[in-house]
Chain A
Amino acid sequence: MDDDMALTSSLLGREPSLELIRSIAEVAVQLRYPGLECSRYFAALGQALRDEPPPFGTREYRLIYRSLSAEPRWMAVSLIRNAEREGDGSKRLWSLAACSVDEEHQRLLKRHACDESRHALMYLALLDLTFPGAVSPDFGAELRQLSPGFSMRKELYPVPGSPYAKVPTIDDFLQMNIAEIRTAIHHTMQRPVLGGHCPPENLNRITKLHDALLADELSHIAYTAVLVDRMGRDVDPPRLAALFCRRFRDFNLITTEELGGDVFDCSVACCAKRPTCRARAADHDSGSGATKVLHQIGSRPR
Chain B
Amino acid sequence: MDDDETYEEQRLEEANRLSHAASVLRESRTGLVLTGRIKNGELQLDQPTLDEIQAKFPEADISFIALNSPFDAESLPV
Contacts and interface: CB of A to CB of B under 8 A. Distances in A.
A166 to B, nearest CB: 7
Interface residues of B, number: 44
Interface residues of A, number: 80
A229 interface: no
Contacts, number: 179
A132 B31 CA distance: 10
Chain A binding surface SS class: helix
A290 B52 contact: no
Contacts of A201: none
Nearest to B73: A163
Chain B binding surface SS class: loop
B34 A84 contact: no
Nearest to A141: B38
A180 B38 CA distance: 26
A125 interface: no
A263 interface: yes
Given A72-B32, A232-B78, A92 B70 contact: yes
B68 interface: yes
Interface of A: 64-65, 68-69, 71-74, 76-78, 80-82, 84-86, 88-90, 92-93, 96, 112, 116, 119, 123, 131-136, 139, 142-143, 145-146, 163-164, 166, 169-172, 175-176, 179-180, 182-183, 186, 189, 217, 220, 232, 235, 239-240, 243, 246-247, 250-251, 254, 257-261, 263-265, 267-270, 278, 289-290
Given A73-B49, A136-B33, A267-B65, 15 more contacts: A71-B53, A73-B34, A78-B65, A81-B65, A86-B66, A89-B67, A131-B32, A134-B26, A135-B33, A139-B37, A142-B38, A176-B69, A179-B67, A189-B64, A290-B72
Interface of B: 22-23, 26, 29-38, 41-43, 45, 49-50, 52-53, 56-78
Among all A-B residue pairs, the 8 with the closest Cβ atoms: A163-B73, A89-B69, A92-B69, A175-B70, A179-B67, A171-B75, A169-B75, A134-B32
